Structure 1
Amino acid sequence: MILWDWIPRNLGTIGQQLLQHLQLSLIPVVVALVVSVPLGWLANRSPALRAVLVPAAGLLYTIPSIVLFVMLPGVLGTRIDSPLNIQIALTVYTVALLVRSVADALAAVPSMVVAAATAMGFRPGRRFVSVELPLAVPVLIAGLRVATVSNISLVSVGALIGVGGLGALLTQGFQEFFPTKIIIGVVLIVVLALLADALLLLLGRYITPWVRAGAGARSKA
């Protein structure tokens, strides 16, 4: 039986689990982005490195999440219910997704633009920061959206090893035969994923005004 009056009586607990879910899912995205950008840059510059890094990243992503959650405590020496296990595992998954996205995004930058920047005296580092990376943002944001939504979903699996977040509502609901917790957990996870995806989409449009300008020019034509 669904007891809706349970919700207002437990808003504090729900809010804590919501905040923990956000922390567990979004911190790995930020860390993985910092790691993936240089790795993707290397993969884009060197076909040999790309042949190693991209398949290796894909292989990492095939490891089932619950297996990685259980294996990491033995490697790191942490408690199995430590949030650090979840964050490191999700960082690994996010790097696995973003390395290919960064490499593909940089490869999509027109070679004429890169050549023009080089002719203007841009060194590789400055050219990457000032020209290549900004132009790669639209493709990179697309990969970041996939990774973020995936993380928000995968965090719920951590409840199986005792880590909190909204997944705890799901496991408690099943154990207690209390569907209210299950419904609230599922709805909040879906809403979080949709909000995160929408915010990243808006961020991508905001930091790439030239894309909007190009789209407006095409529509007028």
Structure 2
Amino acid sequence: MITETLTWLTDPINVTGPTGWLQLIGQHLMYTIITLAIAAAIALPIGLYVGHTGRLRSAAVLATGLTRALPTLGLLTLFALLAGIGLVAPVIALVVLAVPSILAGAYSGLESVPRSTIDGARAQGMTEMQILTQVEVPLGIELIIGGLRSAFMQVLATAMLAAYVGNGGLGKLIFLGMKTEDYPVMLAGSLLVIVLAILCDVILALVQRAARPKGIARTA
């Protein structure tokens, strides 16, 4: 099976063809990036508000825990029944999956900033917006990016389910192989997802490390 899988992966038709795995990787990343952008637009402002003001923290923690407990496949099936076959259902389901990590990273990042530093900024006459953008976010950026990184990896791994409702991505290989009992194709899809996840995680880890303020000890 391994030999057949490697043969399939290196066949030029399966690499660059109309339904080749390079195109499927592009679709997979597109689904992930679209989902992350929508989830970040929702979760980051809420997380920054909670982390800066300390208000609604209990509600945010509760919502984060409850959302993480929701089964992604169940949500995907529900939204597919409501919205039909297409990109809408998987994106909504994946956004629900991504929001908790981004939200937690945002308010945890701001809460990691020493209160004495914030009090000193207020004593110097900085406005609340200046404190948020010039003190809290820069000092908490590593944890904020860590939340985005965690969400990205979760979505990347789960985006295979997009093929469950007729979309593309690397999950298409797995569902196609399952349907036709072509196990080398299933293994090829699994290997591609694993390699893609490792490469993306390494890149995001480097970005997270580069964003760490100089002189600040590692927080995650």
TM superposition score normalised by structure 2: 0.87
SS state at 1:208 partner: coil
Deviation at 1:144, TM superposition (A): 2.0
Deviation at 1:209, TM superposition (A): 4.4
Deviation at 1:54, TM superposition (A): 2.0
Deviation at 1:84, TM superposition (A): 2.1
CA distance in 2, matches of 1:3, 1:56: 42
SS state at 1:121 partner: coil
Matched, 1:49 2:56: yes
| Structure 2 letter corresponding to 1:176 | T
CA distance in 2, matches of 1:147, 1:198: 14
Which ranges of structure 2 fall in alignment gaps of 5 or more residues? Answer: none
CA distance in 2, matches of 1:45, 1:206: 24
Among 194, 218, 221, the alignment partner of 2:198 is: 194
Give the aligned partner of residue 107 of structure 1: 111
CA distance in 1, matches of 2:208, 2:52: 24
TM superposition score normalised by structure 1: 0.86
Please give the root-mean-square deviation of Cα atoms over the aligned residues, in Å: 2.0
* Deviation per residue, 1:177-220 (Å, 9 max, x gap): 2222112211111111111111111112222241xx4569xxxx
Contact 1:141 1:201 in 2 (8 A): no
Give the aligned partner of residue 30 of structure 1: 37
Give the aligned partner of residue 154 of structure 2: 150
* Deviation per residue, 1:2-38 (Å, 9 max, x gap): 2543332211221111111001112211222232221
CA distance in 2, matches of 1:123, 1:27: 34
Query: May I ask how many residue pairs the two structures share in their alignment?
Result: 211
SS state at 1:122 partner: coil
Runs of 4+ with deviation above 4 angstroms: 45-48, 213-216
Give the aligned partner of residue 61 of structure 1: 68
* Deviation per residue, 1:51-95 (Å, 9 max, x gap): 1122112212211111111222455xx32x211221222112211
SS state at 1:150 partner: helix
Give the aligned partner of residue 219 of structure 1: none
Deviation at 1:165, TM superposition (A): 0.7
CA distance in 2, matches of 1:71, 1:176: 26
Contact 1:66 1:158 in 2 (8 A): no
Deviation at 1:97, TM superposition (A): 1.9
* Deviation per residue, 1:123-151 (Å, 9 max, x gap): 11121111101111111222222211111
| Structure 2 letter corresponding to 1:112 | S
CA distance in 1, matches of 2:52, 2:96: 22
Among 5, 8, 11, the alignment partner of 1:6 is: 8
Which ranges of structure 1 fall in alignment gaps of 5 or more residues? Answer: 217-221
- Percent same amino acid among aligned pairs? 28
Give the aligned partner of residue 178 of structure 2: 174
Shift of the 107–4 alpha-carbon distance from structure 1 to 2, 3 Å rule, reads closer
CA distance in 1, matches of 2:126, 2:195: 44
CA distance in 2, matches of 1:177, 1:74: 27
| Structure 2 letter corresponding to 1:94 | A
